[in-house]
Amino acid sequence: MRSAVLTALTLALTAAAAALAAPAPPVAAAPAAAGPAGRCDPGELCLWGKPGYRGARLVHELADTDVNSCVPLPPGASAKSFVNRTRKLVTTYQSAECSTEGDFETFPSGTWVPESRHTVRAFQIVDQ
């Protein structure tokens, strides 16, 4: 009986050792952590027509945008997501005339907004 127990124990230990020594099956790599989907370079204000940085993208740079002036988006265009990398404050407006009668909100540089709480039809880059 003792030899049967020793044989069973030896077989169990041998099987366990073999399982530990066997190479692990390949595992699919986890996808990289998703960052903001939109591309917007330093010095730019980037606006997308759809939430989540999707749809048509409009790009405005400080070099060709009047600071402290209302800048309406092109006729028929609007934005639902945007990124401010201008190094200045940016105010977005629901109104195409930058009217404060509609919704508006100011964002610091470095802000990524995947879904604006209002449809953006104009903006103003504010000289700080």
Q: What's the predicted TM-score (pTM) here? A: 0.70
The answer to whether 42 and 83 have CB atoms below 8 angstroms apart is no
pLDDT the model gives residue 120: 98
Residue with tokens 């009668």: 101
pLDDT the model gives residue 5: 40
Q: Given strand 44-50, what is the order of strands in its sheet?
A: 54-61, 44-50, 81-84, 111-113
Q: Which of helix, strand or coil describes residue 48?
A: strand
Q: Which CATH superfamily is domain 44-126 in?
A: Crystallins (2.60.20.10)
Domain boundaries defined on the chain: 44-126
Q: Checking DSSP bridges between strand 54-61 and strand 104-107, what pairing results, if any?
A: unpaired
The answer to whether 67 and 86 have CB atoms below 8 angstroms apart is no
pLDDT the model gives residue 28: 33
pLDDT the model gives residue 128: 75
Q: Given strand 122-126, what is the order of strands in its sheet?
A: 71-72, 122-126, 89-93, 104-107
Task: Per residue of the chain (128 residues), give pLDDT as tens.
Answer: 444 443 443 444 344 444 444 444 333 333 333 335 678 999 999 999 999 999 999 999 999 999 999 999 999 999 999 999 999 999 999 999 999 999 999 999 999 999 999 999 999 999 87
pLDDT the model gives residue 45: 97
pLDDT the model gives residue 38: 73
